Amino acid sequence: MKYFLKPLLWSLVFLFLGASSCRMANNKVEAPIEAYETLDYIIKYNKAPDGYVGGRKFGNFEELLPKKTEQGKKIFYKEWDIYPKKKGINRGPHRLVTGNNRTAFYTPDHYQSFIEIFPKENK
């Protein structure tokens, strides 16, 4: 029962925060350690690790993430790779999306679904 309620709760939270629709990744999907390591690096240095692509604006055009904070302020997002770029190899679907409201989301499927993550020291 608790596994059913968690996605429902997230849907209600995201709807309340302004997302017109919400798609969270399956509960069985967990963010890889690289997502947490990348997030910690971004928090510490405010840039992508050397050799990584990141820091570009993420438009949230699918509106799967909250559009506004609880206080009604617009949230701006940036996207980051969680693995270093390798010449001639596709970057893959894994991304980290961070908001200017100090939120972070891992997407295992190139923005089709999200898992909210927190810095390792807050896990």
Q: What is the CATH number of the domain that holds 21?
A: 3.10.450.30
What is the average pLDDT score of the chain?
84
Q: Which domain holds residue 10?
A: 2-122
pTM for this model (two decimals): 0.77
pLDDT band of residue 25 (cuts 50, 70, 90) is low
- Structural domain count of the chain: 1
Positive or negative, the Cα torsion across 95, 36, 42, 49? negative
Which residues, 6 or more positions from 70, have their beta carbon under 8 angstroms from its beta carbon?
17
Residue 76: strand, helix, or coil = coil
